[in-house]
């Protein structure tokens, strides 16, 4: 069944109280829609332009009050759902993932295991553009990388769109808003921007599901997603795990192995 028919049936039967999906927006860009009645399901769309990670809404207090929700999902969204479950932010019974394929067919994935099995068939690959950007940065000297990021951060206005679009940034009280002590300089000057992006990257290392929603959300086009992608690659290379792979994953930085290998501690 397609997204509309599936959603209508789920809402009619009371299996879910709301469907989070996309509806037609302005300038051809779909926008998130929260459908709570079966007759509203006709507005749902799902196409290649639906790239926002809807997982970001699942932990919002106002969405939690809706009851059980279904969410139309790309593989990125599915990984976000598993990671939220791993971080005990989402219960299996609170969410029904609707994996939508290129033809618009919706597949109901009611359990974490079903999501995991579905994801096992989908290869997780970084988009070529991002992989090349990471490699290009890797080839630069340290000074060139510093200049690159300083140039990028100079445009940052600290709108926090990257934070808000991220399904893993759900903390009720973010370090950015913490002023006792003031961890991060508040204004969007050079130091405040660098520290903000450093904290964001560190807090997402080992938790980033590499959906790239942050980079797409940036109004001034800073490739902020490269920072979290890099952190994710770093964790995978050193600790052999990827966020979003399972609903029973330990956070890489709150666990350890006595034989973790590094080369720099004297």
Is residue 147 at the binding interface for other proteins, with CB under 8 A as the rule? yes
Is residue 239 at the binding interface for other proteins, with CB under 8 A as the rule? yes
Buried b (16+ CB within 10 A) or exposed e, 135-144: eeeeeeeeee
Say how far apart CA 186 and CA 176 lie, in whole Å: 8
Nearer to other proteins, 65 or 182 (CB): 182
Is residue 240 at the binding interface for other proteins, with CB under 8 A as the rule? no
Do residues 232 and 242 make contact, with C-beta atoms less than 8 angstroms apart? yes
Buried b (16+ CB within 10 A) or exposed e, 226-237: bbbbbbbbebbe
- Which residue intervals of 29-101 are DSSP H helices? 61-64, 75-86
Nearer to other proteins, 112 or 176 (CB): 176
Is residue 143 at the binding interface for other proteins, with CB under 8 A as the rule? yes
Say how far apart CA 58 and CA 81 lie, in whole Å: 8
Is residue 197 at the binding interface for other proteins, with CB under 8 A as the rule? yes
Give Cα separations from 117 to 53, 114, 222, 244, 245 (angstroms).
20, 5, 34, 12, 10
Among 63-71, 105-113, 124-132, 249-257, the segment contacting other proteins (CB under 8 A) = 249-257
Is residue 189 at the binding interface for other proteins, with CB under 8 A as the rule? yes
How far is C-alpha 20 from the chain's CA centre? 15
Is residue 41 at the binding interface for other proteins, with CB under 8 A as the rule? no
Is residue 166 at the binding interface for other proteins, with CB under 8 A as the rule? no
Among 11-19, 25-33, 49-57, 144-152, the segment contacting other proteins (CB under 8 A) = 144-152
Nearer to other proteins, 126 or 137 (CB): 137
Is residue 36 at the binding interface for other proteins, with CB under 8 A as the rule? no
Nearer to other proteins, 8 or 158 (CB): 158
Is residue 1 at the binding interface for other proteins, with CB under 8 A as the rule? no
Which residues contact residue 182 at a Cβ distance below 8 angstroms, ignoring those fewer than 6 apart?
none
Is residue 256 at the binding interface for other proteins, with CB under 8 A as the rule? yes
Binding interface with other proteins (CB under 8 A): 137, 142-150, 182-185, 187, 189-192, 194-195, 197-199, 201-202, 205-206, 227, 230-231, 234-235, 238-239, 252-258, 260, 262, 264-266
């Amino acid at each position: 069944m397609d997204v509309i028919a599936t959603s209508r049936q789920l809402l009619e039967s009371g299996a879910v109280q709301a469907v989070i999906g996309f509806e037609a927006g302005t300038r051809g860009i779909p926008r998130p829609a929260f459908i709570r009645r079966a007759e509203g399901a006709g507005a749902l769309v799902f196409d290649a332009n639906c790239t926002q990670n809807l997982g970001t809404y699942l932990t919002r207090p106002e969405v939690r009050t809706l009851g059980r929700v279904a969410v139309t999902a790309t593989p990125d969204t599915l990984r976000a759902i598993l990671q939220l479950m791993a971080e005990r932010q989402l219960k299996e019974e609170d969410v029904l993932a609707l994996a939508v394929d290129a033809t618009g067919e919706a597949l109901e994935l009611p359990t974490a295991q079903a999501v995991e099995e579905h994801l096992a068939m989908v290869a997780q690959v970084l988009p070529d553009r991002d992989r090349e950007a990471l490699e290009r940065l890797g080839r630069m000297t340290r000074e060139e990388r510093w200049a690159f990021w300083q140039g990028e951060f100079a445009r940052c206005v600290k709108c926090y769109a990257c934070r808000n679009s991220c399904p893993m940034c759900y903390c009720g009280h973010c370090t950015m808003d913490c002023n006792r002590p003031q961890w991060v300089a508040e204004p969007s000057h050079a130091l405040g921007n660098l520290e903000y992006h450093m904290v964001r990257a560190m807090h997402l290392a080992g938790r980033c599901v590499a959906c790239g929603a942050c980079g797409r959300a940036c109004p001034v086009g800073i490739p902020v997603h490269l920072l979290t992608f890099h952190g994710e690659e770093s964790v995978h290379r050193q600790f052999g795990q990827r966020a979003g792979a399972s609903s029973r994953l330990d956070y890489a930085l709150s666990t350890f192995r006595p034989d973790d290998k590094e080369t720099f501690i004297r």
